[in-house]
Amino acid sequence: MRKDEKIEIVVVDDEKYICGVIDEALSSDKLKIHTFTNPLKALEYIEQNHVDLVLTDLVMGQQSGIQVLETTLENHSDAVVILMTAHPTVQAAISVLRKGAYDFMIKPFRLETLRNIIKKGIEHQQVLRENLSLKGQVEFLKLTQANIVGTDLDTYLDMIAKSCRNEFSACGVSLVHVKPNSKEIIRTIIDSKQECYEKLLDEKLLYHFDFTKSTKPVIRTEEQYENDSKFFEVMISKPIFERRKLHGVINILIKSKFGKIIPGQLDLLSILSSSAGSAIANNSLYEDVQKSYIQAIKGLANSIEARDQYTSGHTDRVLKLSEAIAKYMNWTDKQIEYLIMGCTLHDIGKLGVPDSILNKPDILTDSERKQMQKHPELGMKIINGIDLFKPAIPYIMSHHEWYDGSGYPNGLKGEKIPIEGRLLTVADTFDAIISDRPYRKGRSVEIALNELIKYAGTQFDPYIVNKFIELLKSGGIDLYKLYDGELDFDFLETIKTTEKVSV
């Protein structure tokens, strides 16, 4: 309610004198009083107009103040209702309070008592509305913080859907949006009962309403009956807009006794839908930036291989081997996404190694070897400050660490070596053994696998070595295709996994 708006008060009493006295007693620039001696006309007015507070007699001939109470709360669930009666009983007071009345006033009453009760009722309503506003601000701050710390889009939209469920006490919430840069429709369903699924998953909810003309929510209410008890099924559909573009819609399914939504709840929903719109739009921008970075990554990887004639195709082969092992080990989609980046960039530091060392046909001297061993740290410096590349750090920094702690650059041991580095080391070494190097010809797959087994527990994580061998035996990766049909695999059945275990 704006500060310049008057508080709408409805007074219902079949005695005209009582209505007149109350009207005069409450006369104020801040209050607008509507008096009714006919309860039916009062009910009609309440159903069709905004109401903040209702003061009604309990017994009015054939009509009851209970009807006024229920109709008011059905149409204005945040309204304050106060009942009056000249024949008070404890049972009657308890009954109306249980039905949602704010207070119970006994006739005759002092005008000062009337004013105090009305004042407290208005303050009570304002507190309720302020609480909803504060809840909205708190939810917005939570979501803003989540957005700042880099929560991925799916998780962020889940948070928004859960906030909607909690604030509306909904039986189900769906957030339907079109995936950025595609026509794929994504649906997020939160805690919905089975019978709600069809309504929440209806694809038409995204396109059925002409949201281009209005950003206001569409509210549909249906009467339902269960065990002879009436309740309302309310579906709220709130469009998700950002920069005047429709990105999706939030659908909230509520089962309630009254079937009406508090205005403050709709304000909160506007905040949540706005947050969702910003997140979807920002994610689209992020994906565009990410694509540019990925192209840059590929360009950098190609630059490395262009300088090192003996490692042509190495990065791509190591990536395919690592991805196959990771999937066999049930890594998540997000881990696989980071693995692709990490494997592509793992040798990026070689950009800082002279060509004379990279392409030297003889074994490196101690000085040259030390210079080559700096490439993980050089790679770290190259990507430092680019947040998008942070997931690649464990691949760049630890793919030359040895399981026994004798590797470089940090001498990490066992499981202190990131799992990313332990996995990449197996794939990287396997490809290095069977590929031509400046100082030797490539060796057979059998020799490569025997080397992995021999040094399991020393250079390699035994568990990952075993998983790699199991993967090869299961046919989970086509080495014949990967290495252009130049390899022999007849011996695979004779290869046994290592008996060493991971420490």
Q: What is the DSSP string of 38-85?
A: SHHHHHHHHHHS--SEEEEESEETTEEHHHHHHHHHHH-TT-EEEEEE
Task: Examine the domain organization and report whether 122 and 155 are in the same domain.
Answer: no
Query: Is 144 in a helix, a strand, or coil?
Result: helix
Nearest to 257 by CA among 468, 98, 456: 98
Q: Is residue 290 part of a domain?
A: no
Residue 208: pLDDT above 90?
A: no
Do 67 and 157 have their domain in common?
no
Q: Do residue 360 and residue 489 come from a single domain?
A: yes
**Rounded-to-integer distance, Cα 412 and Cα 406, Å:** 8
The confidence score (pLDDT) of residue 210 equals: 55
CATH code assigned at 115? 3.40.50.2300
Mean pLDDT for the stretch of residues 269-280: 80
Q: How far apart are CA 465 and CA 120, in angstroms?
A: 74
In a domain, 291, yes or no: no
Does residue 140 lie within any of the structural domains?
no
Question: Considering 98, 128, 158, which residue would you say is the last residue of a domain?
Answer: 128
Backbone angles phi, psi at 3, to 5 degrees: -65, -30
Q: List the domain range (segments joined by +) for residue 155.
A: 150-283
Question: For residue 410, what pLDDT band results from cuts at 50, 70 and 90?
Answer: very high
Name the residue with tokens 């949602």.
100
Q: Is 333 exposed, middle or buried (0-12, 13-18, 19+ CB in 10 A)?
A: exposed
Same domain, 15 and 64: yes
Final residue belonging to a domain, choices 240, 267, 283: 283
Q: How many other CB atoms are there within 10 angstroms of residue 304's CB atom?
A: 22
Provide the percentage of residues in the chain whose pLDDT is more than 70.
73
Between CA 296 and CA 376 the distance in angstroms is: 19
Q: What is the pLDDT of residue 148?
A: 43
Give CA angle at 322 (317, 328), nearest 5°: 130
Structure tokens at 250: 């939030």
Number of domains in the chain: 3
Question: Could you give the count of Cα atoms lying within 13 Å of 400 in the half-sphere of its Cβ?
Answer: 18
Residues 56 and 173 reside in one and the same domain: no
The tally of CA atoms less than 13 A away on the side-chain side of residue 393 is: 11
Q: Does one domain contain both 186 and 42?
A: no
Query: What sign does the CA torsion over 102, 106, 111, 116 have?
Result: negative
Please calculate the CA angle 301-403-375 and round it to the nearest 5 degrees: 30
Claim to verify: residue 218 and residue 362 sit in the same structural domain: no
- Who's near 395: CB < 8 A, 6+ residues apart? 339, 341, 342, 343, 345, 346, 420, 421, 424
Q: Is residue 133 part of a domain?
A: no
Does residue 398 fall inside a structural domain? yes
Both 329 and 202 in one domain: the answer is no
Whole-prediction pTM: 0.51
Residues 200 and 322 in one domain: no
Rounded Cα distance, 69 and 60, in Å: 13
Residues 327 and 434 in one domain: yes
End of a domain among 250, 283, 316?
A: 283
Q: Same domain, yes or no, for 72 and 165?
A: no
Q: What average pLDDT does range 36-60 have in this prediction?
A: 91
pLDDT greater than 60 at residue 80: yes
CATH assignment of the domain containing 164: 3.30.450.40
| Domain shared by 98 and 158, yes or no | no
